[in-house]
Amino acid sequence: MWRKDTQKAKDCYFGGVKVYMILIMFLVSGTAFAHPWTPELKPMEHYYYVGEKALSNGINCMVITNRKQMEKIFGRINRPDTPHFANENLLVMVMPETRKDTKLSYRASFVKAGNFLAIYCKVNHTKHTLTYTHYPIATAVVPKYKGVNQVYFYEERKKTTPLIEKVALPERL
């Protein structure tokens, strides 16, 4: 009789410990912040570069965090789809003025991991020459995330994904 009672006590004790261990592992796994995830980004169309800043050769990447910066690059805009800078950032990818038919675009989703965002871009160079010059440009809106202070822009290619540019975000007050 004594042996059965102690066995029952051990089973209850270790059964309870198993439940608590499983519960603790579940709670700890849910609190990690560096797990990468892929939210959607919102493309913005029909924006045109009018900035006075000289662009370097290749792709120029920017993260616009306020209305004043946006007006320096695009001029004064009164459109209903303008980003809400209190909780959104505007991503801009622009190339110097050219006659080549070049299209820039973003992948529909991006990766948020730890303190950075990874944005994937595509560059489509065609063989056509245009009769006018233009600034190839792509714009998109992403939410602002607490603790995110870097944005990495990558070019998607068939075999590699090289880093185009790393942009530091200003600290939020």
Tens-digit pLDDT profile for residues 59-100 = 999 999 999 999 999 998 888 888 999 999 999 999 999 999
Token pair 């233009």: residue: 134
Structural domain including 17 reads 1-32
Pick from 82, 91, 80: which is nearest to 141 by CA?
91
Distance CA 173, CA 67 (A): 16
Q: What pLDDT, on a 0 to 100 scale, did the predictor assign at position 11?
A: 55
pLDDT band at 31 (very low <50, low <70, confident <90, very high): very low
Determine, yes or no, domain membership for 82.
yes
What is residue 26's three-state secondary structure? Answer: helix
> Looking at residues 9-20, what average pLDDT do you find?
53
Determine, yes or no, domain membership for 37.
no
Do residue 129 and residue 81 come from a single domain?
A: yes
Domain count, the chain: 2
Do residue 26 and residue 83 come from a single domain?
A: no
Determine, yes or no, domain membership for 147.
yes
Question: What residues does 151 pair with on adjacent strands?
Answer: 117, 167
Do residue 88 and residue 57 come from a single domain?
A: yes
Window from 10-14, 53-57, 134-138, 158-162 with minimum mean pLDDT? 10-14
Report whether pLDDT(108) > 60.
yes
Please provide residue 120's backbone torsions phi and psi, each rounded to the nearest 5 degrees: -110, 130
Burial group, residue 106, by CB count within 10 angstroms (0-12, 13-18, 19+): buried
Please provide residue 149's backbone torsions phi and psi, each rounded to the nearest 5 degrees: -130, 5
Distance CA 136, CA 144 (A): 25
Do residue 27 and residue 49 come from a single domain?
A: no
